Amino acid sequence: MRIKLTAEPGSARNNKTGSWRVERRPQFLQKNCSACRMCILVCPEGIVSGKEKNSFKTDYLYCKGCGLCAAVCPKKDIEMVPEETESKK
């Protein structure tokens, strides 16, 4: 008998984990993006989307605010901003 100990990647899709964010959220500036897709690759929730330069964004309903996307962005085109900051992206 097998016991499943971990959740599947992207399992936040089943639970609106955006409410878990307590301090900061990523803001995709869409100014210097090179479409390298690193933010897509590192997001543990699989919620970053985009194809063309300066088109990348996340789904705040599920974003936990872990900051990995901002940490890996080679163009510094994602900023972690205070949760109360109004985001248009």
The single residue among 27, 56, 82, 89 that binds ligand SF4, judged by CB under 6 A, is 56
Residue 3 or 6 having the CB closest to ligand SF4: 6
Q: Are 16 and 60 in contact (CB under 8 A)?
A: no
> What residues does 28 pair with on adjacent strands?
78
SS3 41: helix
Q: Candidates 2-10, 65-73, 81-89 — which segment interacts with ligand SF4 by CB under 6 A? A: 65-73
The single residue among 15, 19, 38, 81 that binds ligand SF4, judged by CB under 6 A, is 38
> Rounded to the nearest 5°, which phi and psi values hold at 42?
-90, -15
State which H helix or E strand residue 81 sits in: strand 78-82
Residue 4 or 76 having the CB closest to ligand SF4: 76
Q: Give the residue from 67, 9, 68, 56 showing the smallest Cα distance to 29.
A: 56
Binding interface with ligand SF4 (CB under 6 A): 26, 28, 33-39, 42-43, 45, 47-48, 56, 58, 63-69, 73-75, 77-78
